Amino acid sequence: FVKEERDREEKKEAQERQEKKEEQERKDKFELEKLKLQAEIENAKSLHSKKDASTSDWMAKIPRMNPFSEAKGDTMDAFLFRFEMLVKAHNWPEDKKFLALSNLLTGESLKVLQTLSVEQQTYACLKQALLKKFLCTAADYNVKFRTAVPTNTEDADAFISRLETVFDKWLELSNIKKDDFEGLRDLILRDQIYASLHKELVMFLKERSPISVKEVRNLADKYRTAHPSKPIAKEVEIVANVGVTKESKNNQEQFNRTSRRDKRQQNNNQRSRSCGPNWKQRDYAQTNHRFPRWNDSPHNNFRRQNKGNFRGYSQ
């Protein structure tokens, strides 16, 4: 009996020692994990502080550049060109360009920044949105290139340089490389096609944004199949063997009508000055001018007989 009692006590002591050992191991493991976590936190803080310091250093090195201001005559394409020159000269990282450009926006350009979603907060998206807002897209540069004329302060050299810049911008925004002859040929052909077709067909094509002449041809064939009775040629009328558009003819007719009206008013004013303000009534009286047919009804004859004076004319 004494032996059994001793064995139970030994087992109990052994079990207690094992439990204490396991508890100590758990405490040691917990302390080790705690130390690791503290070390990671310290490392993260150190990296964050270094990053903030590098960002502050980078922001401090940004050259001074005036914010964009339409009131001062700034144009968005020239402003972005100057900004990208600074980016290239100082080797700014790509992820910093968005922040740097954002700090230079004011007024309407700042409103464009506010419309961007979180996914669109990149320099490329911001640049595209600004160019679209301030009419600096490929279509806008195409119009500028086609309608450019020298200003009063430009000589031939300055005008040609400006024309070259506008043309290069048109190619750049159309994703055409300068050494890509086929792409340039395709772009010019598409532009001429749009200038030659009917406005409804052009609208149909532009809504679908074809990127090649082949796509334009296929879409035009589909339009013709769906609308066989509609014309595809641009509206042009031939007047005296000279090709003029319908719009220009309407403008000329409006000018002619205005000129005839002004001439009649001028003649009336001259007669009024020479004959007095009632020259029309005297003309009726002198020539026994008949009243219009709608005044010859029995009712109006009765009125004339009883009233004696009708429309300033004495019978």
Q: What is the pTM of this model?
A: 0.43
Average pLDDT over residues 217-235: 86
Query: String of b and e for 271-296 (b: at least 16 CB within 10 Å)?
Result: eeeeeeeeeeeeeeeeeeeeeeeeee
Comparing 129-143, 184-198, 294-308, which segment has the lowest mean pLDDT? Answer: 294-308
Average pLDDT over residues 223-241: 73
Asked if residue 146 has pLDDT above 60, the reply is: yes
Comparing 127-131, 155-159, 291-295, which segment has the lowest mean pLDDT? Answer: 291-295
Query: String of b and e for 153-179 (b: at least 16 CB within 10 Å)?
Result: eeeeeeeeeeeebbeebbbebbebeee
| 263, two tokens | 């001439």
What is d(CA 291, CA 285) in angstroms, rounded to the nearest whole number?
11
Asked if residue 38 has pLDDT above 60, the reply is: yes
Residue of 91 and 299 predicted with greater confidence: 91
What is d(CA 47, CA 263) in angstroms, rounded to the nearest whole number?
85
What is d(CA 133, CA 172) in angstroms, rounded to the nearest whole number?
18
Specify the pLDDT at position 301.
58
Tokens 């360009």 found at: 97
pLDDT digits (tens, 9 = 90+) for 257-281: 555 666 666 666 666 555 555 555 5
Asked if residue 241 has pLDDT above 50, the reply is: no
Asked if residue 284 has pLDDT above 70, the reply is: no
- The C-alpha angle with vertex 124 and arms to 123 and 128, in degrees rounded to 5, equals 115
Picking from 310, 305, 265, the residue whose alpha carbon sits closest to that of residue 284 is 310
> pLDDT > 90: what percent of the chain?
0
Asked if residue 210 has pLDDT above 70, the reply is: yes
Asked if residue 65 has pLDDT above 80, the reply is: no
Asked if residue 300 has pLDDT above 50, the reply is: yes
Average pLDDT over residues 211-233: 87
Strands of 166-264, DSSP E: 236-239, 242-245
Specify the pLDDT at position 253.
60
- Greatest Cα pair distance, the chain, in angstroms, is 163
